[in-house]
């Protein structure tokens, strides 16, 4: 059977169909390669999928974080709270704006930011902080209603890093909300890197329900330049006139990328469904030998990652690698990167440390075949039986 399995198997990968190819060719043959109608079309479709009012498409998830921090007013003298178990960009974006970061330990069950520790940290010095960046780690929603409540009581904003969680849901007071819907955050961001749920090559999105932040983000995305007559500072000089009002960037995404995104978006639900089938199979066959993911009551997991824990993580990683299964570790706590180490005397995060020592992301992506899935399970169990 094994010689029929397509190898190597990586922890995540994109799926490109013929419909995707046709969509990209359509964009290439259209009048606009960038700044055309497909960008707005993708934004509208994505906002509707996520359940938010507005969406702003940008070059990548990191640009989405950077612009969000700018729009929320991060600057020198401001301190933002986030989790250490995330991709470095979640925290880097605060530094881009001259702000400071403090890390709050993770909840050992969900691996998302621990809301009790978050509350305690803020209560010790409430005026020190301006905002919170929770991360829906692996596709499990952060405890957003509680985080929103803490933030509101202390006058902080919430920027949800939902890169792992388009399509994930949580419930609150009998209602169901989507990650990134903006019901319990000011802004939320997404990435369309090929390992994420929706691939555009490079790409990112900010979602919000706030019309003021929406306008600000659109201006910041294109150099801080304004063209709308009713938003000009100076009187218009004529039809050509536009003016730069704030220092922005060129973080625009092309119509080519957005055409691919639109096409991918039509398969988003099917992709999550497949990810959940894979996760259920892993749960069924691995939960007696490894720690499998916890899913909090009332939430549904998007399984960007399927993360297990084992004390023999390095041995398992090496064993699977020998069998052409390329897992990954998500993540080294951000404050342990050499650059970050030099920046501060970080508050200890024992749960994040323990998690980092034990975690491993097994392959999960929609185009993973049943044969590949069975092969991974067979190899993991072979390892666990002590072969």
Ligand X SMILES: *Cc1c(COP(=O)(O)O)cnc(C)c1O
Which residue's C-beta sits nearest to ligand X? 61
> Any contact of residue 383 with ligand X (CB under 6 A)?
no
Q: Which stretch binds ligand X (CB under 6 A): 57-65, 107-115, 141-149, 293-301?
A: 57-65
CB 349 within 8 A of CB 84: yes
**Spatial CA neighbour of 335 closest among 34, 16, 5, 101:** 101
Q: What are the φ and ψ backbone dihedral angles of 278, each rounded to 5 degrees?
A: -60, -45
> Any contact of residue 87 with ligand X (CB under 6 A)?
yes
**Spatial CA neighbour of 305 closest among 269, 265, 278:** 278
The two beta strands, 79-82 and 129-133, are parallel
Our CB check for ligand X shows the closer of 264 and 383 to be 264
**Spatial CA neighbour of 85 closest among 108, 106, 62:** 106
Q: Out of 47, 71, 74, 89, name the contact with ligand X by CB under 6 A.
A: 89
State whether the Cα torsion 166-96-60-278 is positive or negative: negative
Residue 265 burial by Cβ neighbours in a 10 Å radius (0-12, 13-18, 19+):
buried
Residue 182 burial by Cβ neighbours in a 10 Å radius (0-12, 13-18, 19+):
buried
Q: Which stretch binds ligand X (CB under 6 A): 156-164, 253-261, 272-280, 308-316?
A: 156-164
**Residues 6+ away with beta carbon under 8 Å from 150:** 115, 118, 119, 122, 132, 156
Our CB check for ligand X shows the closer of 254 and 383 to be 254
Site residues for ligand X, 175-194, by CB under 6 A, read 191, 193
| Cα gap 110→158, rounded to integer Å | 19
Q: CB of 78: closest distance to ligand X in angstroms? A: 20
Q: Which stretch binds ligand X (CB under 6 A): 158-166, 239-247, 316-324, 336-344?
A: 158-166
> Any contact of residue 110 with ligand X (CB under 6 A)?
no
Q: How many residues belong to the site for ligand X (CB under 6 A)?
A: 14
> Any contact of residue 161 with ligand X (CB under 6 A)?
yes
Q: Out of 14, 82, 90, 263, name the contact with ligand X by CB under 6 A.
A: 90
Q: CB of 234: closest distance to ligand X in angstroms? A: 35
Q: CB of 164: closest distance to ligand X in angstroms? A: 6
Q: Which stretch binds ligand X (CB under 6 A): 49-57, 74-82, 157-165, 283-291?
A: 157-165
Sheet of 157-161, strand order: 54-58, 204-208, 187-191, 157-161, 129-133, 79-82, 100-103
Q: Which stretch binds ligand X (CB under 6 A): 55-63, 168-176, 258-266, 279-287?
A: 55-63
Q: Out of 14, 38, 60, 219, name the contact with ligand X by CB under 6 A.
A: 60
Q: CB of 203: closest distance to ligand X in angstroms? A: 7
> Any contact of residue 204 with ligand X (CB under 6 A)?
yes
From residue 289, alpha-carbon distances to 78, 101, 103, 292, 311 in Å are 45, 37, 32, 9, 11
> Any contact of residue 135 with ligand X (CB under 6 A)?
yes
> Any contact of residue 164 with ligand X (CB under 6 A)?
yes
Buried b (16+ CB within 10 A) or exposed e, 57-78: bbbbbbbbbbbbbbbbebeeeb
Q: Which stretch binds ligand X (CB under 6 A): 45-53, 60-68, 321-329, 351-359?
A: 60-68
Our CB check for ligand X shows the closer of 60 and 263 to be 60
Q: CB of 298: closest distance to ligand X in angstroms? A: 23
> Any contact of residue 121 with ligand X (CB under 6 A)?
no
From residue 303, alpha-carbon distances to 34, 293, 377 in Å are 32, 9, 17
In the complex, the residues that contact ligand X under the rule CB under 6 A are 60-62, 86-87, 89-90, 135, 161, 163-164, 191, 193, 204
């Amino acid at each position: 059977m094994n010689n029929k399995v397509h190898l190597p198997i990586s922890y995540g990968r994109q799926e490109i169909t013929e419909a995707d190819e046709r969509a990209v060719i359509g964009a290439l043959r259209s009048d606009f390669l960038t700044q055309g109608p497909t960008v707005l079309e993708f934004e509208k479709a994505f906002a509707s999928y996520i359940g938010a009012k507005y969406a702003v498409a940008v070059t990548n998830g990191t640009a989405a974080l950077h612009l969000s921090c700018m729009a929320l007013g991060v600057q020198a003298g401001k301190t933002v709270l986030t989790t250490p178990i995330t991709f470095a960009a979640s925290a880097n974006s605060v530094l881009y704006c001259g702000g400071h970061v403090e890390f709050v330990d993770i909840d050992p069950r969900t691996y998302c930011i621990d809301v009790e520790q978050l509350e305690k940290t803020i209560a010790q010095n409430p005026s020190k902080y301006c905002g919170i960046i929770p991360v829906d780690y692996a596709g499990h929603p952060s405890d957003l209603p509680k985080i929103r409540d803490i933030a509101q009581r202390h006058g902080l904003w919430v920027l949800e890093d939902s890169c792992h969680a388009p399509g994930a849901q949580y419930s609150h007071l009998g209602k169901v909300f989507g990650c990134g819907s903006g019901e319990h955050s000011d802004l939320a961001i997404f990435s369309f890197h090929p390992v994420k749920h929706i691939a555009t090559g490079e790409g990112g999105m900010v979602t919000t329900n706030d019309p003021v932040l929406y306008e600000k983000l659109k201006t910041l995305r294109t150099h801080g330049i304004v063209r709308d007559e009713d938003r000009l500072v100076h009187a218009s000089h004529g039809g050509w006139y536009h003016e730069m009002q704030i220092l922005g960037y060129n973080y625009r995404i092309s119509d080519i990328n957005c055409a691919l995104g639109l096409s991918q978006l039509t398969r988003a639900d099917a992709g999550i469904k497949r990810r959940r089938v894979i996760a259920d199979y892993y749960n069924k066959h691995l939960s007696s030998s490894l720690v499998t993911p916890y899913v909090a009551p009332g939430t549904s997991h998007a399984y960007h990652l399927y993360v297990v824990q084992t004390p023999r993580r390095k041995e398992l990683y090496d064993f699977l690698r020998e069998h052409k299964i390329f897992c990954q570790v998500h993540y080294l706590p951000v404050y342990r990167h050499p650059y970050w180490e030099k920046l501060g005397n970080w508050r200890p995060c024992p749960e994040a440390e323990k998690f980092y020592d034990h975690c491993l992301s097994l392959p999960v992506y929609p185009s993973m075949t049943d044969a590949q899935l069975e092969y991974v399970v067979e190899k993991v169990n072979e390892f666990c039986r002590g072969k």
